[in-house]
Amino acid sequence: MNNILIVGSGGREHALGWKLSQSNKVNKIYFAPGNGGTSINIDIQVDDVDQLLEFAINNNCFTIVGPEVPLKLGIVDKFLANNLKIFGPTQIAAKLETSKSWAKNFMQKYNIPTAKFEIFDNYESAIKHVRVVSYPIVIKADGLASGKGVFICNNFQDSSFVLDKMFLKHNFGNAGNKILIEEYLHGRELSYIILSDGETIIPMETSKDYKRIFDRDKGDNTGGMGSYSPADIDIGIQKQLQQMMKNVIHYMKNMGMPFVGFLYAGIIIHNNIPYVLEFNARMGDPECQSIMMRLQSDLYDYLLACVNGKLANMPKLNWNPKHAVCVVLASDGYPNNYSKHEIIYGCNSILDCNNMIFHAGTRKINNVLTTNGGRVLGVVGLDNDRKLAATRAYNTSRKIKWKSKYNRTDIGYN
Ligand code: AMP
Ligand code: GLY
């Protein structure tokens, strides 16, 4: 029996822990720092790599990294140097996510379809460019911005507002010191996520998330307001995506930076060709919540096979053929300012294998559950088709209440 340390505090980490708890090879599961729905919680933040290392050594843990921040800080390199088992990419391999400009240059070099782009590191040249470009365009902060550093601009005024925020007001800190300006691609989006041990890949089931804050994909980009799995894409596109990810893993290995972990490609199908919008060096949130509800294999075996370089020996993953829909319940005002510490009611509804509540921005003190973040809960429904699954998720969501609760009403329906 093995102890697990899950680094992170979101719905993704709750879902990974829930799945791992079903393995008979897993003993204790620790979450650092975890949330109001997880246990056993350890009071160590995700960027405190030294303390996490000490905890993992003292408790003999296999560590699983949820979010991108500790990957960027080199948590995997440090744990490996101490002979600890850890699931996730090294600092240099995580550049696929931590620097959008690095990832775009990688895609260009290896002919991976992606939107045309230019990179700018100062306000003057960027503003000159947006005066003459044809609209719409997409402006992206180069560094990490929790999914909130991407702006679709329809005219010069929009662009000038965004460039002002990035370069002059420094709203994105160092992440916005370098930016990308991309052509806007029309099309349907999906998330394509694989497991890799640096050489072999095993795809997860397809999924889709809803990035925008308001119904019908209006308003600001967020970390994700809902998800479903499977995404409806044909088998031909799936085969192309699988080959593309195999190639990425192969090129990374050849460059001396093998990628071990979950690799996530944000895809847009434009003119029937899958273009990569971004790579993430981790599981998606809230895609993970929908995907974990459908996974039937023992996740522990696969994560261990990845860190041991043994994925080629593993059979395909088994999936529940039902559809999963995850509705994110957020605090009104997210992804900008929102209130915290509001009491959450109705979260103890009876759940079963077709209905789960994964916690994200919650905190439990003396058995009182309160809000503690922008995305608060993810409610997942599982059913024979996507609409039924969505209805199941919304029926449970309606029973949960707090003062500034907000959710989209169209997740899974369009
Ligand atoms: P990213 O973080 O790069 O995946 O961007 C977040 C979201 O912005 C994507 O899921 C898309 O909805 C949108 N987006 C980003 N880049 C483009 C693009 N080149 N064309 C159209 N939409 C985009
Ligand atoms: N849901 C998008 C992400 O995890 O980046």
Strand 179-183 and strand 61-65: the pairing is: unpaired
What pTM did the predictor assign?
Answer: 0.95
Cβ of 220 less than 6 Å from ligand 1: no
Cβ of 68 less than 6 Å from ligand 2: no
- Taking only the tens of pLDDT, the chain with its 414 residues reads 799 999 999 999 999 999 999 999 999 999 999 999 999 999 999 999 999 999 999 999 999 999 999 999 999 999 999 999 999 999 999 999 999 999 999 999 999 999 999 999 999 999 999 999 999 999 999 888 877 788 999 999 999 999 999 999 888 888 778 999 999 999 999 999 999 999 999 999 999 999 999 999 999 889 999 999 999 899 999 999 999 999 999 999 999 999 999 999 999 999 999 999 999 999 999 999 999 999 999 999 999 999 999 999 999 999 999 999 999 999 999 999 999 999 999 987 667 889 999 999 999 999 999 999 999 999 999 999 999 999 999 999 999 999 999 999 999 998
Tally the C-alpha atoms within 13 A of residue 61's C-alpha that lie toward its C-beta: 23
Long-range contacts of 47-50 (CB under 8 A, 24+ apart): 47/73, 49/73, 49/74, 49/75, 49/78
CATH number, domain 2-88: 3.40.50.20
Name which residue sits closest to atom 8 of ligand 1, judged by CA: 150
The ligand 2 atom nearest the CA atom of 227: 1
Alpha-carbon gap, residue 150 to 20, rounded angstroms: 33
Å from CA of 147 to ligand 2 middle: 7
Supply the pLDDT for residue 193. Answer: 98
Supply the pLDDT for residue 350. Answer: 64
Which residues have C-beta within 8 Å of that of residue 371, sequence separation ≥ 6?
331, 339, 340, 341, 342, 344, 361, 362, 363, 402, 404
The ligand 2 atom nearest the CA atom of 280: 5
Domain boundaries, the chain: 2-88, 116-183, 188-313, 323-406
Cβ of 97 less than 6 Å from ligand 2: no
The ligand 1 atom nearest the CA atom of 140: 3
Alpha-carbon gap, residue 316 to 410, rounded angstroms: 33
Structural fold of domain 116-183: Dna Ligase; domain 1 (3.30.1490)
> Hey, which residues does 202 pair with through a beta bridge?
195
Name which residue sits closest to atom 18 of ligand 1, judged by CA: 184
Å from CA of 150 to ligand 1 middle: 7
Cβ of 141 less than 6 Å from ligand 1: no
Ligand nearest to the CA of 186: 1
Cβ of 224 less than 6 Å from ligand 2: yes
Cβ of 143 less than 6 Å from ligand 2: no
Which residues have C-beta within 8 Å of that of residue 180, sequence separation ≥ 6?
100, 101, 104, 117, 118, 119, 120, 138, 139, 140, 142
Domain 323-406, CATH class in plain words:
alpha beta
Å from CA of 203 to ligand 1 middle: 22
Ligand nearest to the CA of 270: 1
Å from CA of 277 to ligand 1 middle: 6
The CATH H-level superfamily of 188-313 is: ATP-grasp fold, B domain (3.30.470.20)
Alpha-carbon gap, residue 256 to 250, rounded angstroms: 10
At 144-202, the pLDDT tens digits run 887 778 899 999 999 999 999 999 988 888 877 899 999 999 999 999 999 999 999 99
The helix (run of H) or strand (run of E) holding residue 260 is: strand 260-270
- Contact by Cβ (8 Å): 343, 369: yes
Alpha-carbon gap, residue 241 to 266, rounded angstroms: 11
- Contact by Cβ (8 Å): 135, 183: no
How many other C-beta atoms can be found within 10 angstroms of the C-beta atom of residue 89? 28
Alpha-carbon gap, residue 220 to 214, rounded angstroms: 8
Alpha-carbon gap, residue 359 to 99, rounded angstroms: 29
Long-range contacts of 385-389 (CB under 8 A, 24+ apart): 385/323, 386/228, 386/323, 386/325, 386/412, 387/412, 387/413, 388/323, 389/228, 389/322, 389/323, 389/324, 389/325
The CA angle 152-157-158, to the nearest 5 degrees, is 20
Long-range contacts of 240-245 (CB under 8 A, 24+ apart): 240/274, 241/192, 241/203, 241/265, 241/267, 241/274, 242/194, 242/201, 242/203, 244/112, 244/274, 244/276, 245/192, 245/194, 245/196, 245/201, 245/203
Å from CA of 328 to ligand 2 middle: 13
Alpha-carbon gap, residue 335 to 354, rounded angstroms: 29
Cβ of 67 less than 6 Å from ligand 2: no
Which residues have C-beta within 8 Å of that of residue 8, sequence separation ≥ 6?
31, 32, 46, 65, 66, 67
Give the amino acid at 311: L
Alpha-carbon gap, residue 134 to 117, rounded angstroms: 13
Of 377, 373, 367, 370, which is closest to residue 398 (Cα–Cα)? 377
Name which residue sits closest to atom 5 of ligand 1, judged by CA: 150
Alpha-carbon gap, residue 114 to 15, rounded angstroms: 31
How many other C-beta atoms can be found within 10 angstroms of the C-beta atom of residue 316? 8
Tokens encoding 228? 């479903």
Ligand nearest to the CA of 8: 2
